[in-house]
Amino acid sequence: MLTEEIGFSFSVSENQEMVRTMVRDFAERHIRGHVMEWDEVQFFPVEVFKKLGELGLMGVLVPEIYGGSGFGYQEYVDVLVEISKVCGSVGLSVAAHNSLCTGHILAFGTEEQKHKWLSKLSTGEWIGAWGLTEANTGSDALRMMTTATLDGDHYILNGAKNWITHGKSGDVAVVMVRTGEKGRANGISAIVVERGTPGFSAGKKENKLGMRASETTEMIFDHCRVPVANLLGKEGEGFKQAMKVLDGGRISIAALSLGIAKGAYEAALAYAQERHQFGQPISSFQAISFKLADMATEIEAAELLIRQAADLKNRGKNMTKESAMAKYFASEVAVRVATDAVQIFGGYGYTKDFPVEKFYRDSKLCTIGEGTSEIQKIVIAREILNG
């Protein structure tokens, strides 16, 4: 059921068209030719993100006063889709930087904190990380083990975070830590930790199935002293903040999923029209054309859900249900479309000489990261049953 109040226009704004053209051109010039090279060796292309920062794409949602572009969520969706159509890894890193680390500071930082950190994050001078997940507390975040103990005008952090995008290369991280009783929402706080702080280090780098050019590592805190001034909001508000940040983050992963799905679909569509079997293009066979029809329809449906959630977010409306629906549906669509794209390519789709095998590998993360599909169903069910 569509939201009762829809403000989204189906027409593409001038800003959106400009952003799409700019990002499409950037991806062609700076990303496409290196996609498989970076993927093979799990190379995190820091310089690409510096260049994106020069275009304002590392602070898409950040007001100009803090060095950002000041765009809204529709433009942000366009940025992620156009990048992810070429490389899901770069799309994932742009999403994590913008929505999580930068977005958290923007939403809950003081003016002093925003001017201090957003000016560097928005321009790409600094790359941001965001730490919630731990080895034994993925979806069950309230039982995290990483602690922050007050010691005068500092917090002492001890523990480790896992599966952190930019956990090694990030210059600054927003970290959720336990400052109160385990298992209680008001026992979690959000603290900003800068790289170079004694006791803050990177641990194991994950060897992943997909998204291999997006760095994923542990962050380790060993008696790490962080000024109390780095606390975001008040002590005990971190979990509530994180859940609000993830509402917007779900739009990011949905847009990432949409980009991957579009990239896989466009590759499959072109191949089906070029590849001939039995004297005709394989697109003329119903088995193939019906796959393409299903792919195109699901992509359209996913985009409508994403645009609806983005519209609600832009207008400051509650969009917990809509963002969860968009993330859940779009991520599952990405997997289905990428799977069908490999099938259309046949044996060639199973090789690294064609792009669809990478879309296939990258797509799966979208159903896991920033809340699994199962967690999205829990959120959706709670919203419709309690709403």
Full 3-state SS string of 290-344: HHHHHHHHHHHHHHHHHHHHHHHHHCCCCCHHHHHHHHHHHHHHHHHHHHHHHHH
Q: List the structure tokens of 295.
A: 């792919």
In this predicted structure, what is the pLDDT of residue 39?
Answer: 98
Catalytic one of 300, 370, 374, 383: 370
Torsion of CA 301, 243, 335, 212, to 10 degrees: 140
Under a CB-based contact definition with an 8 Å cutoff, are residues 98 and 88 in contact? no
Q: Pairing relation of β-strands 216-227 and 172-178?
A: unpaired
Q: What is the pLDDT of residues 332-365, one digit of tens each?
A: 999 999 999 999 999 999 999 999 999 999 999 9
Spatial CB neighbours of 333, under 8 Å, sequence gap ≥ 6: 257, 258, 261, 298, 299, 301, 302
DSSP state of 13: P
Unique residue bearing structure tokens 């900003």:
192
Q: List the structure tokens of 359.
A: 């879309």
CA 10/CA 19 separation, integer angstroms: 16
Under a CB-based contact definition with an 8 Å cutoff, are residues 75 and 61 in contact? no
Would residue 370 show up in a list of annotated catalytic residues for this protein? yes
CA 327/CA 322 separation, integer angstroms: 9
CA 201/CA 216 separation, integer angstroms: 14
pTM over cut 0.85: yes
Unique residue bearing structure tokens 């194991």:
204
3-state helix, strand, coil in the chain (%, to 5): 55, 15, 30
Q: List the structure tokens of 210.
A: 């997909």
In this predicted structure, what is the pLDDT of residue 3?
Answer: 47
Question: Low-confidence residues of the chain, pLDDT below 70?
Answer: 1-8
In this predicted structure, what is the pLDDT of residue 10?
Answer: 76
In this predicted structure, what is the pLDDT of residue 1?
Answer: 47
